[in-house]
Chain A
Amino acid sequence: MKRTLPRSTLKSLVKKHKPQLRLGGNTDLLVHLNFLLFLFRLAEEARAKAVEEKSKIIKYEHVLSSAKIILKKSRG
């Protein structure tokens, strides 16, 4: 896994969504951590879905249905 973070990309993404919002200190690192944990949960859920359907490959449908669940769970 790549160990470097796209900090400026992350900041610009936040800026795009909320132009008036200022990020203090190293908040973007925490945001990145949150994002990584989100991806982890999404991967787990999609894998579980694939196993449930006896598929050895994670397919589009699995990701779609698990994204719905995980996005709902990740609401702040």
Chain B
Amino acid sequence: METEAQRLKAAFHYTAARLCEEVAEDKGICFSRQAIAAVSEITFRQCEIFARDLEMFAKHGKRSTVNVEDVKLLARRSNSLLKHITQKSDELSLNNLEQKEKKKKKSAAKKGRRNSNEHEEPVAIVNEDSNMA
């Protein structure tokens, strides 16, 4: 029987191995299997701390949803990390804005079509009315 935590750990291990491979190629070094396992285990433990901190930050802000500001607060201890996270979040928000605008345009076009349909319908009704009369 596999528990949830074990599956999660396996996923962590897989991702850690992938990332380590990338770094190994970049630097021209090799990671031993134990090193990769240690990295994944450390990441797993660190995530517990992150989750607790994020929960506390959200609670402090009288929210039950963790948002980008909380994550930024989590990264505040290291200046370079904070800069990196802020940049990433800016990129994300920009992307979101663009997508929203696209959606707006699409929905506007749909609405336009629908409106034209609606314009036709009343005419038809009027015609029927005139027929009735």
- For A75, the closest partner residue in chain B by CB is B77
Q: At the interface, is chain B mostly helix, strand, loop or mixed?
A: loop
Interface string of B76-93 (1 = CB under 8 A from A): 110000000000000000
Interface string of A6-50 (1 = CB under 8 A from B): 000000000000000000000000000000000000000000000
Q: At the interface, is chain A mostly helix, strand, loop or mixed?
A: loop
- Tell me the minimal C-beta distance from B92 to chain A in angstroms: 25
Can you name 3 A-B residue pairings with CB atoms under 8 Å?
A: A75-B77, A76-B76, A76-B77
Interface residue tally of chain B, by bracket? under 10
**A residues whose Cβ falls under 8 Å from a Cβ of B:** 75-76
- For B78, the closest partner residue in chain A by CB is A75
**B residues whose Cβ falls under 8 Å from a Cβ of A:** 76-77
Sort A-B residue pairs by CB-CB distance and give the 3 closest, nearest first.
A75-B77, A76-B76, A76-B77
A75 CA to B76 CA in the complex, in Å?
9
- Tell me the minimal C-beta distance from A1 to chain B in angstroms: 31
- Tell me the minimal C-beta distance from B49 to chain A in angstroms: 14
- Tell me the minimal C-beta distance from A46 to chain B in angstroms: 23
A76 / chain B contacts, CB cutoff of 8 Å: 76-77
A55 CA to B129 CA in the complex, in Å?
106
A3 CA to B121 CA in the complex, in Å?
86
- Tell me the minimal C-beta distance from A7 to chain B in angstroms: 26
A75 / chain B contacts, CB cutoff of 8 Å: 77
A76 CA to B82 CA in the complex, in Å?
13
B76 / chain A contacts, CB cutoff of 8 Å: 76
A75 CA to B78 CA in the complex, in Å?
9
- Tell me the minimal C-beta distance from B85 to chain A in angstroms: 16
- For B77, the closest partner residue in chain A by CB is A75
- Tell me the minimal C-beta distance from B83 to chain A in angstroms: 16
- For B73, the closest partner residue in chain A by CB is A76
A58 CA to B77 CA in the complex, in Å?
29
A76 CA to B77 CA in the complex, in Å?
7
